[in-house]
Amino acid sequence: MAEFSERLISWFDRHGRKDLPWQERPTAYRVWISEIMLQQTQVATVIPYYLRFMEKFPTVAGLADSSMDDVLHAWSGLGYYARARNLHKASMIIRDVHGGEFPLDMEAVLELPGIGRSTAGAILALADQQRQPILDGNVKRVLARYHAVEGWPGSTAVAKILWAFAAAHSPHERIADYTQAIMDLGATLCTRTQPQCATCPLSDDCRAHSLGRETDYPGKRPKKTKPLKTTHMLLAHHEGALYLERRPLSGIWGGLWSLPEFSDVDAVMEWCEQTLNTTVLEVEHWDTLRHSFSHYDLDIKPVAVRLKSASRKVADTDQALWYTLATPPGIGLATPVKTLIDNLHTTGNT
């Protein structure tokens, strides 16, 4: 087992990534933010978001003292918004329970919202040199191929086997370098398609490689047909102001600001009169916009209506507002909502 980690660390010394933003001053807070952002998101996508986020929230206290709107605004476009909500919740716990210092005890870290075993292990290994195994997507792929572990890693039985290998391979020295190395290997050489086995430091002993079955591992997730859902989104605007509502904290786009939604477009006119206390002067039906989630696809049918007036009374709470297109406020918007707002602004129909 020691030879596995030694070869990986030796490879890392020559070829590993050492200039990622979170590798500079790798405090537990900085590593924590990066690990949450990197969940289901590529490094290249994360880097600009991470830099902006750390500039805005350089400390746990700064994050905890900020509003949810500020946090979601900084996260807008990165997706999987529960990550941002959990970051905010966890930062307040760290401020109030741990004296503003990210805890370095595994049990305490696992009690924080949004942090599972692998993320906790990565934070403690990278920031505190603790011998903690990790098992993110890249590591699952490396270990499943090296040991030819059959089955889908998302199943409990297969995950248990991979965790055992992850723990056994974790060295007692240079654990931070090893942790970064095995993640880097999966991200750069042992990729999902077209793995570069010829330059892999583990290929000599890799069972999948010896069998010529590299891409058979890890096993695929059982296929399910993604359902298609449909919604009508209302862009109700008046003289450069657009009506928005805050979404519930649970569910998709939780806590973000969004457009009113309807299952039946015929209900739009009546809703504008009863809820916004105004009449509709003009109606436009835009082309359908499809947005894909991990478990289903959503067809958004935009309906843009120009209103006779914009009553301030209906947007006088923290659940509704008139969004000024010329000077937009710093609030969190889901990607398709921002796309529709941008379209409304650029068409000049406001």
Residue 176's CATH number: 1.10.340.30
Q: Does the pLDDT of residue 315 top 70, yes or no?
A: no
In a domain, 221, yes or no: no
pLDDT category at 347 given cuts 50, 70, 90 is confident
The answer to whether residues 268 and 124 belong to one domain is no
Mean pLDDT, rounded, of the chain: 93
The answer to whether residues 205 and 236 belong to one domain is no
Work out the percent of the chain whose per-residue pLDDT is above 70. 97
pLDDT tens by residue, 243-264: 999 999 888 898 999 999 998 8
Q: How far apart are CA 94 and CA 97, in angstroms?
A: 5
Q: Does the pLDDT of residue 217 top 70, yes or no?
A: yes
Residue 172, domain extent: 2-216
The answer to whether residues 161 and 65 belong to one domain is yes
Q: Does the pLDDT of residue 349 top 70, yes or no?
A: no
pTM of the model: 0.84
Q: Does the pLDDT of residue 313 top 80, yes or no?
A: no
| Cross-strand pairs, 241 | 238, 324
In a domain, 24, yes or no: yes
The answer to whether residues 342 and 236 belong to one domain is yes
The answer to whether residues 249 and 169 belong to one domain is no
The answer to whether residues 177 and 278 belong to one domain is no
In a domain, 223, yes or no: no
User: Is 214 a catalytic site residue?
Assistant: no
Q: How many domains does the chain have?
A: 2
The answer to whether residues 50 and 103 belong to one domain is yes
Section 262-277 average pLDDT:
86
Residue 319's CATH number: 3.90.79.10
In a domain, 222, yes or no: no
13-17, 174-178, 223-227, 310-314: least confidently modelled range? 310-314
Q: How far apart are CA 46 and CA 335, in angstroms?
A: 15
User: What pLDDT shows up at residue 173?
Assistant: 95
Q: Does the pLDDT of residue 310 top 90, yes or no?
A: no
The answer to whether residues 280 and 187 belong to one domain is no
Domain-ending residue, one of 216, 242, 269: 216
189-193, 219-223, 226-230: least confidently modelled range? 219-223
Section 210-230 average pLDDT:
92
In a domain, 69, yes or no: yes
Domain-ending residue, one of 216, 239, 264: 216
User: What pLDDT shows up at residue 265?
Assistant: 82
pLDDT tens by residue, 275-296: 888 889 999 999 999 999 888 9
In a domain, 249, yes or no: yes
163 with 135: CB under 8 angstroms? yes
Q: Does the pLDDT of residue 58 top 60, yes or no?
A: yes
Q: How far apart are CA 183 and CA 170, in angstroms?
A: 13
Section 17-36 average pLDDT:
95
The answer to whether residues 233 and 205 belong to one domain is no
Q: How far apart are CA 222 and CA 237, in angstroms?
A: 45
> 218: cis peptide before it, omega within 30°?
yes
CA angle, 61 then 328 then 85, to 5°:
35
The answer to whether residues 151 and 256 belong to one domain is no
In a domain, 259, yes or no: yes
The answer to whether residues 96 and 200 belong to one domain is yes
Section 129-140 average pLDDT:
96
User: What pLDDT shows up at residue 222?
Assistant: 85
Domain-ending residue, one of 167, 183, 216: 216
How many residues does the structure list for the chain?
Answer: 350
Identified catalytic residue from 3, 6, 24, 35: 35
Cα-Cα end-to-end distance for the chain = 65
33 with 53: CB under 8 angstroms? yes
The answer to whether residues 99 and 147 belong to one domain is yes
